[in-house]
Structure 1
Amino acid sequence: MAHRKAPFKHSRAGVQVNLDDQEREILVHLLGQLDELLDDGRPAGEVDPLEALVGMRGTTDETPPATPDDPALARLLPDGNRDDPEASAEYRRLTEYGLRSRKRSGARTAAGALNRPAPVVLSSEEALSLMKALTDVRLVLGERLELKTDEDAESLHQRLWAGDEAESWMATASIYEVLTAWQEHLVVAVSKKL
């Protein structure tokens, strides 16, 4: 039986991507969904140039952005202080735009790199962008799967093998498991590169 190559491997040129075309396509699709989830609907032309430069939004807005209603988005854009709503609102006002922008930019950088024709070799910047974006995708999927504790995450594999869950849960959980394995390989490859 032939052994499959690690999905990501350190090389002299960078981090070699050993995912097949379909796997890369799925990952690019997930990164696109992450980018869409982080879109606040505010047209780029409405962003004050100074705010964009320093990564802050709301310095001129009277009302800070609210905590997202979507629990998965709230995981990506957490409150700064759960015990003090006023401090949390100020934190969100000063940081949310920059955080959204950085996360979206990282997802786009990773997707662009993965869309190149094979063989794909990631630069250090692209590999770090992919690593961060994979974390964000896994946070979203984990929230959708209601993984709240380490025990929930550990029982995921057992629940998958039992096969007693709804088909949509099984599909999401399978993707979560695969992304977890890929991210572990990517971390190893990046750590060898640094």
Structure 2
Amino acid sequence: MKLYPSSSAFAQLEFGGTEKAIVARVVSDTITLLDSRSDSESTDPLAKLVGIEDRERPTDPALLRLLPDADPENPEASAEFRRYTENDIREGKIANLQTILFTLSKTSPAEIGRDEAHAWMIGLTDVRLVISSRLGIVTEDDMQQLYDREDDLDGNDSALLSIYDFLSWVQERFTELFMNQLDGDSE
């Protein structure tokens, strides 16, 4: 995958078939995770219509990383916050991930605008949070321990770690483009 500045757009993104398939798969899986909530049994149809619903705290650690408690010390406040915000947060995250899928559907090299690049950065963060949760990465020490025993990882964890590294690299390229543009704007 190559990402570089473009004279007619924010950037151009080139991707090979395998890279495209891997990114599309993990992005689609994250969309499914975000969209797999159980339908709430709201007794107030108006509240449900405007997106104010009682929501259960996610039991899946990866989903909880994407939708954390507002106040871990106060379950009631977290539940109230979740009630008023979770639908919008889910929809925003899914929209960013769908932007990534849309970009991947373009012919390579694909020209992407600043808003698309921003959606990629946010969406990649969400995908990386899911993968890090699946790998048990919470701290930098956890990450180092994974690298230290990389040869002993099973096939799934090894593949996830490689995908995590690749997505981190892609996200770093987007960050560099944004930083370079900021440096250019300040001149």
Structure-2-length-normalised TM-score: 0.85
In structure 2, what residue type is equivalent to 1:128?
A: H
Give the match's secondary structure for 1:38: helix
Give the match's secondary structure for 2:4: strand
**Are 1:10 and 1:193, in contact at CA under 8 Å, matched by a contact in 2?**
no
Structure 1 residues 99 and 112, CA gap change in structure 2 (3 angstroms): same
Match 1:173 to one of 148, 161, 168: 161
Deviation, structure 1 residue 149: 1.0
Deviation, structure 1 residue 129: 0.7
For the residues of structure 2 that align with 1:182 and 1:146, how far apart are their CA atoms? 22
Deviation, structure 1 residue 47: 8.6
In structure 2, what residue type is equivalent to 1:80?
A: A
Matches within 5 A, 1:51-70: 51=50, 57-58=51-52, 61=53, 64-70=54-60
Partner of 1:32: 28
Is 2:173 the counterpart of 1:185?
yes
For the residues of structure 1 that align with 2:162 and 2:46, how far apart are their CA atoms? 39
In structure 1, what residue type is equivalent to 2:161?
A: A
**Are 2:57 and 2:64, in contact at CA under 8 Å, matched by a contact in 1?**
yes
Partner of 2:82: 92
Deviation, structure 1 residue 18: 2.5
Structure 1 segments unaligned to the other structure (5+ residues) = 1-5, 52-56
Structure-1-length-normalised TM-score: 0.83
Matches within 5 A, 1:25-174: 25-39=21-35, 40-42=37-39, 51=50, 57-58=51-52, 61=53, 64-160=54-150, 163-174=151-162
CA RMSD between the two structures: 2.1
Structure 2 segments unaligned to the other structure (5+ residues) = 183-187
**Are 2:15 and 2:109, in contact at CA under 8 Å, matched by a contact in 1?**
no
In structure 1, what residue type is equivalent to 2:92?
A: R
**Are 1:17 and 1:122, in contact at CA under 8 Å, matched by a contact in 2?**
yes
Deviation, structure 1 residue 72: 0.2
148-157 vs 111-120, greater mean Cα deviation: 148-157
Deviation, structure 1 residue 81: 0.6
Deviation, structure 1 residue 42: 4.2
**Are 1:8 and 1:18, in contact at CA under 8 Å, matched by a contact in 2?**
yes
Partner of 1:10: 5
For the residues of structure 1 that align with 2:102 and 2:38, how far apart are their CA atoms? 22
Deviations 1:8-63 (A, max 9, x none): 222222221132122122111211111111002549xx896962xxxxx22xx4xx
For the residues of structure 1 that align with 2:169 and 2:179, how far apart are their CA atoms? 16
Instruction: Give aligned-pair identity as a percent.
Output: 34
Structure 1 residues 167 and 49, CA gap change in structure 2 (3 angstroms): closer
